[in-house]
Amino acid sequence: MARLLKGAEAARAINENSLQMIEQLAGAGIRPCLGLVRVGEKEDDIAYERGIEKRCDGLGIRIEKHVLGEEASTDDVLEVIRRLNEDKDVHGVLLFRPLPRHIDAEKVQNALAAEKDVDGMTRASLNGILTGDDIGFPPCTPAACIRILEHFGIDPCGADVTVIGRSLVIGKPLALMLLGKNATVTICHTKTKDLASKARRADILIASAGKAGMVTEEFLQSGQTVIDVGINFGPDGKMCGDVDADAAERIAGAYTPVPGGVGAVTTSVLAEHVVKAAMRENGL
Amino acid sequence: MARLLKGAEAARAINENSLQMIEQLAGAGIRPCLGLVRVGEKEDDIAYERGIEKRCDGLGIRIEKHVLGEEASTDDVLEVIRRLNEDKDVHGVLLFRPLPRHIDAEKVQNALAAEKDVDGMTRASLNGILTGDDIGFPPCTPAACIRILEHFGIDPCGADVTVIGRSLVIGKPLALMLLGKNATVTICHTKTKDLASKARRADILIASAGKAGMVTEEFLQSGQTVIDVGINFGPDGKMCGDVDADAAERIAGAYTPVPGGVGAVTTSVLAEHVVKAAMRENGL
């Protein structure tokens, strides 16, 4: 029976850390504030927004919401971003993505001031991951994966890590972040041959392909740590990850459940980034 | 006996391609120009500079040289970069690195206009490698490795590639560029366990550790392509790569010699980047 890496436990530790910083900020008369920018009324966005609001309320982080209509133009979104850049009381900004297709996402994302980029969407943040510079923040989901490993004492240093998936929001930044922690990283994708054997030989397997149950028994090895980043909905309408949970429980050494794994840590990481942005801005 | 992947052959093809573009530019009254910025009189820099001048002379690319004394300040170098940014007749700029320690390299490198960054040193260029955007250019050495593979018809798509070394000038960008070409990439470094087996299992092995002869017989597999990026000097004072050339010749399917491999392609890639920068700037 594999050890269950529960997101809630890691989230609690992150929140405690945030609360200490929030106290320090309060002593200096500062209340951290997250600007949320949403275009349209997508269900996914609204569900995530609710999670963020709940987390921030619990911690005492102020939220400033900017909701634009589905038909908003690139200039409309840019205008909101520009105002948030200038607002000294807003420390971090999250823009729900993907944006509607008619909006120039590249332009909008890079308009955000790097120091307020709490979800790694600007060039400066992504570059920080590549170079190790402390500009902006990494995207929240890969950061959540790293925090789960840290929390449960699973050290990536020297470990063989296989990352399935190479998206710019998860796979690539996570691979580079793990490399920065001295893991030996193999990045796999749809063109990878004999994927199962590459997954099996890893000490730490990261499943971020976005395909329900694609990581089956033959991808797994006893003792292995499996981090499941997938959020999918199975034929029964239930939320599930990329990993066959039964197989993981039977074979792996440890794994993150879906739901209740990586997803349960993301909003805590986001909140922590906002608090850190407030600390940095105030030289604390 | 392994096939020898001679840099000169790949360089010739790249130069021919550049010459066609240079002709097109000449038709529009434009002569491509490379700005060279050197601080101090380091032997390595001067040797590289000579190689660049010879290549550019041969192709008809103008060179504008800016040599500063070893004692030049960060501001002195910034001033030169700023002038080159503004000079419409200069299409690309190469800054010899590493800079003397007293200079803020980060600041100087990022002061260069991305569109003139023909050696991938700005954040914009590096980020382009991560995102696939066409901003700036990749660093010349990893680009040379890719061009050698292309020239000799060795397709990285679907291939298992092991990269030894994770520097920001070679290992990391090369790994990302190969990933962009659909290779399954494993990035290895000093903390990697059982390095030899990870090297051996690769279809394409990239040696960029900077250690003379570290890739020995046990790192190699029959049929494998070995790209040797190392430039070292052995105990006999002779230039050598990271790969034991005798072992590569005996075991590998194909390999790049040192000297005469990757190094022989770098100046051609640099020249091509300058020409492409001139084309882009003039909308050709």
- Here the tokens at position B140 are 């010349």
Phi first, then psi, for residue A280 (nearest 5°) are -55, -45
From the list B123, B187, B189, the residue facing A123 with the nearest CB is B123
Is residue A131 predicted with pLDDT exceeding 90?
A: no
Average the pLDDT over B84-113 and give the result. Answer: 96
Which 93-132 residues of chain A touch chain B by CB within 8 A? 106, 123-124, 126-127, 130-131
Let me know whether A42 and A93 are in one domain.
yes
- B186 CB neighbours in chain A (<8 A) are 184-187
**pLDDT for the residue A251:** 98
Is residue A133 predicted with pLDDT exceeding 90?
A: no
Instruction: Compute how many other C-beta atoms are within 10 angstroms of the C-beta atom of residue A226.
Output: 30
Give per-residue pLDDT as tens, A27-76: 999 999 999 999 999 999 999 999 999 999 999 999 999 999 999 999 99
Let me know whether A151 and A254 are in one domain.
yes
If you measure CA to CA, which chain B residue comes closest to A179?
B187
Q: Does B200 touch chain A (CB under 8 A)?
A: no
Average the pLDDT over B248-277 and give the result. Answer: 97
Query: In this structure, is residue A268 part of a structural domain?
Result: no
**pLDDT for the residue B132:** 84
How far apart are alpha carbons A109 and A162 in whole angstroms? 29
Q: What is the CATH number of the domain that holds A216?
A: 3.40.50.720
Return the residue matching tokens 């491999």: B261
- 3-class DSSP state for residue B233? strand
How far apart are alpha carbons B173 and B63 in whole angstroms? 27
Is residue B131 predicted with pLDDT exceeding 90?
A: no
Give the residue among B204, B258, B213 at the shortest CA–CA distance from B231: B258
In A236-246, which positions are buried (b, 16+ CB within 10 angstroms) versus exposed (e)? eeeebbbbbbe
**pLDDT for the residue A149:** 98
Residues 6 or more apart whose Cβ sits within 8 Å of residue A118: A34, A92, A93, A94, A137, A140, A270, A273, A274, A277
- 3-class DSSP state for residue B267? helix
Phi first, then psi, for residue B270 (nearest 5°) are -60, -50
Let me know whether A85 and A187 are in one domain.
no
From the list A160, A179, A193, the residue facing B158 with the nearest CB is A193
Give per-residue pLDDT as tens, A184-197: 999 999 999 999 99
Query: In this structure, is residue B186 part of a structural domain?
Result: yes
Residue type, position B92, single letter: G
Query: In this structure, is residue B279 part of a structural domain?
Result: no
Return the residue matching tokens 């279809």: B203
Interface predicted TM-score of the whole assembly (ipTM), two decimals = 0.94
Let me know whether B174 and B223 are in one domain.
yes
Query: In this structure, is residue B4 part of a structural domain?
Result: no
Give per-residue pLDDT as tens, A222-255: 999 999 999 999 888 899 999 999 999 999 999 9
Query: In this structure, is residue B270 part of a structural domain?
Result: no
- A106 CB neighbours in chain B (<8 A) are 133
Q: Quick one: pLDDT band at residue A132, thresholds 50, 70, 90?
A: confident
Let me know whether B240 and B146 are in one domain.
yes
- A184 CB neighbours in chain B (<8 A) are 186-189, 191-193, 198
Give per-residue pLDDT as tens, B33-83: 999 999 999 999 999 999 999 999 999 999 999 999 999 999 999 999 999
Give the residue among B225, B268, B259 at the shortest CA–CA distance from B241: B259
Query: In this structure, is residue A18 part of a structural domain?
Result: no
How far apart are alpha carbons B90 and B265 in whole angstroms? 23
Percent of chain A with pLDDT over 90: 94
Give per-residue pLDDT as tens, B190-236: 999 999 999 999 999 999 999 999 999 999 999 999 999 999 998 88
Average the pLDDT over B160-167 and give the result. Answer: 98
**pLDDT for the residue A103:** 97
- 3-class DSSP state for residue B275? helix
Instruction: Compute how many other C-beta atoms are within 10 angstroms of the C-beta atom of residue B49.
Output: 18
Let me know whether A111 and A144 are in one domain.
no
- Here the tokens at position A142 are 């890969």
Let me know whether A95 and A145 are in one domain.
no
Return the residue matching tokens 């149950």: A213
Question: B233 has which bridge partners?
Answer: B239
CA torsion A43-A44-A46-A47 (nearest 10°) is: 110
- B161 CB neighbours in chain A (<8 A) are none
Is residue A105 predicted with pLDDT exceeding 90?
A: yes
- Judge whether A253 and A202 are in contact, CB under 8 Å: no
Let me know whether B163 and B237 are in one domain.
yes
Q: What is the CATH number of the domain that holds B62?
A: 3.40.50.10860
Percent of chain A with pLDDT over 70: 100
The average confidence (pLDDT) of chain B is 96
**pLDDT for the residue B42:** 95
| SS3 labels along chain A | CCEECCHHHHHHHHHHHHHHHHHHHHHCCCCCEEEEEEECCCHHHHHHHHHHHHHHHHHCCEEEEEEECCCCCHHHHHHHHHHHHHCCCCCEEEECCCCCCCCCHHHHHHHCCHHHECCCCCHHHHHHHHHCCCCCCCCHHHHHHHHHHHHCCCCCCCCEEEEECCCCCCHHHHHHHHHHCCCEEEEECCCCCCHHHHHHCCCEEEECCCCCCCECHHHCCCCCEEEECCCEECCCCCEECCECHHHHHHHCCEECCCCCCCHHHHHHHHHHHHHHHHHHHCCC
Percent of chain B with pLDDT over 90: 94
* Inter-CA distances, A91 with A33, A68, A81, A168, A266, Å: 5, 20, 12, 24, 18
Q: Does A181 touch chain B (CB under 8 A)?
A: no
Burial (0-12, 13-18, 19+ Cβ within 10 Å), A215: buried
Q: Does B158 touch chain A (CB under 8 A)?
A: yes
If you measure CA to CA, which chain A residue comes closest to B179?
A187
Q: Quick one: pLDDT band at residue B124, thresholds 50, 70, 90?
A: confident
**pLDDT for the residue B1:** 85
Query: In this structure, is residue A46 part of a structural domain?
Result: yes
Residue A81 domain boundaries = 29-116
Phi first, then psi, for residue B94 (nearest 5°) are -115, 130
Is residue B133 predicted with pLDDT exceeding 90?
A: no
- B175 CB neighbours in chain A (<8 A) are 187
Among residues B73, B89, B119, the one where a domain terminates is: B119
First to last CA, chain B: 44
How far apart are alpha carbons A120 and A141 in whole angstroms? 10
Let me know whether B223 and B252 are in one domain.
yes
Let me know whether B198 and B236 are in one domain.
yes
Let me know whether B110 and B199 are in one domain.
no
Among residues B119, B152, B184, the one where a domain terminates is: B119
Which 206-245 residues of chain A touch chain B by CB within 8 A? none
Percent of chain B with pLDDT over 70: 100
Give per-residue pLDDT as tens, A137-152: 999 999 999 999 999 9
How far apart are alpha carbons A117 and A97 in whole angstroms? 14
Helix (H) or strand (E) holding B67: strand B62-68
Mutate which of A130, A157, A167, A168 to disrupt the B interface (most B C-beta within 10 Å)?
A130
Dihedral of CA A249/A253/A258/A264: which sign? positive
**How many helices (H) does chain B have, and how many strands (E)?**
10, 11
8 Å CB contact of B189 and A182:
yes
- 3-class DSSP state for residue B251? helix
Give the residue among A127, A132, A116 at the shortest CA–CA distance from B123: A127
Is residue A134 predicted with pLDDT exceeding 90?
A: no
Query: In this structure, is residue B234 part of a structural domain?
Result: yes
Let me know whether B55 and B88 are in one domain.
yes
How far apart are alpha carbons A65 and A49 in whole angstroms? 10
In A160-191, which positions are buried (b, 16+ CB within 10 angstroms) versus exposed (e)? bbbbbbbbebbbbbbbbbbbbbbbbbbbbbeb
**pLDDT for the residue A124:** 87
Total count of domains within chain B: 2
